[in-house]
Structure 1
Amino acid sequence: MSVVSELATEKPKLLSARGTAIMLGAISFVAGIGLWWLAVLAGLSALPNPPEVLRRFIELVANGQLFGDMAASLQRVLIGFALGSLAAVPVGFLMGWYRIARNLIDPWIQFFRVVPPLAIIPLAIVTLGIDEKPKIFVIFLAAFLSSVVATYQGVISVDKTYINAARVLGASDRVIFSHVVIPASTPFILVGFRIGLGAAWATVVAAELIAAQSGLGFRMQQAQLYYDLPTIFVSLISIGILGLIMDRIVVWADERLTGWQERV
């Protein structure tokens, strides 16, 4: 079979697998909503039912609150996550490639890893104020710690056979690093990005609960004071949707950048 024929055969399979995944995801979503509704109707839960949440969603969209809160939280997450990830990748490569750098930096990374970013929020507020700086800083820290460990693990997990083969062929350390280590570490880096995104969203919501005048976390805190469960649900669902979209973007980048990797 020619290469063209093989590619023509693989493409429908890929489209079919993707269509199946979308269909199963939709079925799972509808089933989850149905179970939620049945639990409320049966009196097994004090949660609001889906129509109540939908009505509150329409109200918050109509008065502009929801989009304003989503924009505020999304901006904080994007800035903190981008800064944390950009800083983590070179530090992770440095730790993985040079043993001296690993011995110098790793103790600090492990120290801050066991200190939850949420525990640093009070310190960040006291030292940086109550504006955007402390919120972005704790998001930066959460994303950085997740990504730097993943990048470091990717570098030290590169198959030594590839590196030795490149050396035998006369490749310099610079060529080995750029053509062997970086491509082989990319899947680990992107996994770190996905974990960092989750940590960033968890951190921004906690930060907004403490000191904010806008954002989805702030809106949930205000709704809690009035026992406004539909608003809390709308905020939670909005966070989940935004996080899911960002995660799918990283997955799409992973598929494009690591097309050489075998997948199940």
Structure 2
Amino acid sequence: MTRDWKRFLPFLISPLLLLVVWWWATAAGWYSDDVLVSPAAVLATLQELVASGELALHLKTSFLRLLIGFGTGAVTGVLFGIWMAISPRVEAFVLPTFQGLRQVPTIALIPILILLLGVDESFKVIIVVKAAFLTVALAAYDATKGVSRNYFEVARIYHLPKTTLYRKLIIPAITPPVFTGLRIAFSRSWTILVAAELLAADSGIGQMMQLGREMFRLDIVMVGVVITGLVGFSIDKIFKWAEIRLIPWQPAVKA
């Protein structure tokens, strides 16, 4: 067995064990098909949804909302976090409100946003923007605050331009923790989006699951659960892979 397989094998144990327990529970008849469908039935439904193009359509809609919302929230979050950290006036004025809003679960704002925005696309995008913005802004704020003040003093003594200060000092120093914040924010944004689609949407992976529940098609619901988990897992792995290659001076911890 090669070294790569030895490292990869432990990751297969828990998913395979879960699959065996799932199959065993359905084969033994512990639960009826209305409560727990078999892995074979879920696989057959997955193939059906892929063949009809329905799954691809729902995923495309969800990914579009995710990318627009996360992109907006991440960019504004990084800029706002740095601004809040380097400006004492902005920090004193904004930080208490920011910390208060950060404690409010994003999912708790869904009913309020539905009343204010309705159930159009803007609602789904804004809920993702909120989830990404606060997480990324906090990461950028803490990372910038963590940069030693001595560096700024040296830059002031040598009269370094602000562009050089940010490009050569601040950006490299805060990139690793900000990248970790981006990875966490992306995963949170995905879960929040699926939850929002479950409650109010006419398309998307969450709406597919909700429609399956209304039709008492637990197999469709389980397909949505599996796809949601796989997408979240893949997002996390892609960010870790990118972190290792884009930040060579501080490699990410492999997992």
- Does structure 1 residue 95 correspond to structure 2 residue 81? no
**Displacement after TM superposition at 1:111 (Å):** 2.3
State the superposition RMSD in angstroms. 2.4
The residue that corresponds to 1:222 in the other structure is: 211
Distance in 2 (CA, whole Å) between partners of 1:76 and 1:262 is 30
- Does structure 1 residue 133 correspond to structure 2 residue 122? yes
The residue that corresponds to 1:48 in the other structure is: 37
Distance in 2 (CA, whole Å) between partners of 1:263 and 1:125 is 38
Distance in 1 (CA, whole Å) between partners of 2:220 and 2:101 is 34
The residue that corresponds to 2:74 in the other structure is: 85
**Displacement after TM superposition at 1:214 (Å):** 0.9
Q: In terms of mean alpha carbon deviation, does 113-122 or 217-226 score higher? A: 113-122
Matches within 5 A, 1:5-16: 16=3
Q: Structure 1 residues 163 and 24, CA, compared in 2 at 3 Å: closer, same or farther?
A: farther
Counterpart selection for 1:206 from 175, 179, 195: 195
Matches within 5 A, 1:149-228: 149-160=138-149, 162-163=151-152, 171-228=160-217
Q: Which AA in structure 1 matches 2:221?
A: I
The residue that corresponds to 2:11 in the other structure is: 25
**Displacement after TM superposition at 1:44 (Å):** 4.8
**Displacement after TM superposition at 1:50 (Å):** 1.1
**Displacement after TM superposition at 1:58 (Å):** 0.8
Distance in 2 (CA, whole Å) between partners of 1:167 and 1:30 is 58
Matched residue SS, 2:147: coil
Check whether the contact 2:206–2:224 (CA below 8 A) recurs between aligned residues: yes
Check whether the contact 2:46–2:223 (CA below 8 A) recurs between aligned residues: yes
CA-to-partner distance for each residue in 1:102-152, whole Å, 9 max, x for gaps? 112212211221222223223322332322011101111111111111111
Matched residue SS, 1:26: helix
Distance in 1 (CA, whole Å) between partners of 2:147 and 2:7 is 31
Distance in 1 (CA, whole Å) between partners of 2:175 and 2:25 is 43
Q: Structure 1 residues 261 and 223, CA, compared in 2 at 3 Å: closer, same or farther?
A: same
- Does structure 1 residue 36 correspond to structure 2 residue 22? yes
The residue that corresponds to 1:12 in the other structure is: none
Q: Structure 1 residues 170 and 257, CA, compared in 2 at 3 Å: closer, same or farther?
A: farther
Check whether the contact 1:70–1:238 (CA below 8 A) recurs between aligned residues: no
**Displacement after TM superposition at 1:21 (Å):** 3.8
Gaps of 5+ in 1: 1-14
Q: Which AA in structure 2 matches 1:34?
A: V
**Displacement after TM superposition at 1:56 (Å):** 0.9
- Does structure 1 residue 72 correspond to structure 2 residue 58? no
Q: Structure 1 residues 261 and 169, CA, compared in 2 at 3 Å: closer, same or farther?
A: farther
Matched residue SS, 2:248: coil
Query: What is the count of residue pairs matched by the alignment?
Result: 249
- Does structure 1 residue 232 correspond to structure 2 residue 221? yes
The residue that corresponds to 2:93 in the other structure is: 104
Check whether the contact 2:243–2:252 (CA below 8 A) recurs between aligned residues: no
Distance in 2 (CA, whole Å) between partners of 1:218 and 1:253 is 31
